[in-house]
Amino acid sequence: MSAHVEIPRPHETTRGRFTVELVFPAASKHRAQQHHDIAFALADVHGLEMSTPYKVNPRWSVYEERWGNGERHGWLDMRRLRVDGPARALARYLVALERVLDEVEALATRAVRVFGAWKRSVAAEPFLEYEDASTMRTRARVFRADVLHALAQRVGARRQPVGERDSSRPLWEQYGAVAEEVWAAAGGVDLERADGSAVTALVARMVPAVVVEAERLAVLEAGRVEAERLEAERVELFRQADEACAREADEADAERSARDGQEALFPVSAARPALVVPPPMPVKPRRTPSRRGRLRPETRAALSGAVRVIPAEAVEGLYGKGASFTVLEASPDRRRYAPAA
């Protein structure tokens, strides 16, 4: 498995056509988008259909869009890519994608090494007069991202060949020329080569529509069985509670009859209506309570006119035993705050 793309199991959406949604987990958003561009261009080479999923903004609302912070409803999620096609072609594409991403990343690393050799050369001295170690690290990082972007365009054949280097310009401005150099030195990247055994194994892992439907029906059946079990438990609890109430009523009626010397024509439980179990009430998800705007207990007591009860030991520790005012003894079960006298 490649560290640059996550490939779940493809599943059949229509007869003979499979779908997979790729995820690019790179830490940098721009790097993930470059991997997305490489995968997008490679899907076109293999004759597959590809689309970028839409991601909804969770912070969006009409108020935020029009009168708030201008939040958009959503945007294209460049960390994901949906690819559709026949099973064999899709498997060849997925096997080739891992290799192509690894080779393109290796070319970008080779370009960074070229940049390191250049900055240690005599030709780079005029451009490094006002540069220090920190700025050169930043330039090397940006240079690698630019080279990777140029290589991604090279995979899609959307970039015209760039000329040779210009010695009058710094190398970090000529990332296109360096990308062409490392591409030519490596002999390019084969976009269609794929291991046959890996393709066959991936085709065997693809989930047909029958299996997907069977899994969906199994989940529904498990949910139905669990709902029936919970409903049976609820009805049983209602029945036990009703029997307990009827038994208590009969015992009370028997005690009253023994005391009055009269017996009832029939027990009270026989006159009770039949048990009717009410339908379960829908459970509304509870929101996490917000603590914003709540007052501290001291502030709430002061605003309500309450006074703090001070123990006698605390007063004696501050003013001594000869205090000129009356000290109230606070019992342990007394509340923390008491109404003012």
Say what the pLDDT of residue 12 is.
82
What pLDDT is attached to residue 208? Answer: 75
The whole-angstrom separation of Cα 254 and Cα 33 is 82
Helix extents (H) in the chain = 29-45, 62-66, 87-119, 133-155, 175-185, 196-205, 209-260, 268-271, 297-303, 312-319
308 - beta bridge partners? 337
Name the stretches of the chain with pLDDT < 50: 327, 335, 337-341
CB 193 within 8 A of CB 99: yes
240-259: string of b/e by CB count within 10 Å (b at 16+)? eebeeebeeebeebeeeeee
* Residue 274 contacts residue 305 (beta carbons within 8 Å): no
What confidence score (pLDDT) does residue 82 get? Answer: 92
Residue 144: what residue type?
Answer: R
pTM of the model: 0.58
Q: What are the tens digits of pLDDT across the range 259-299?
A: 766 665 556 666 667 777 777 777 677 666 655 556 666 56
pLDDT, position 250: 77
The total of other beta-carbon atoms located within 10 Å of residue 183's CB is 21
Q: Three-state SS for 99?
A: helix
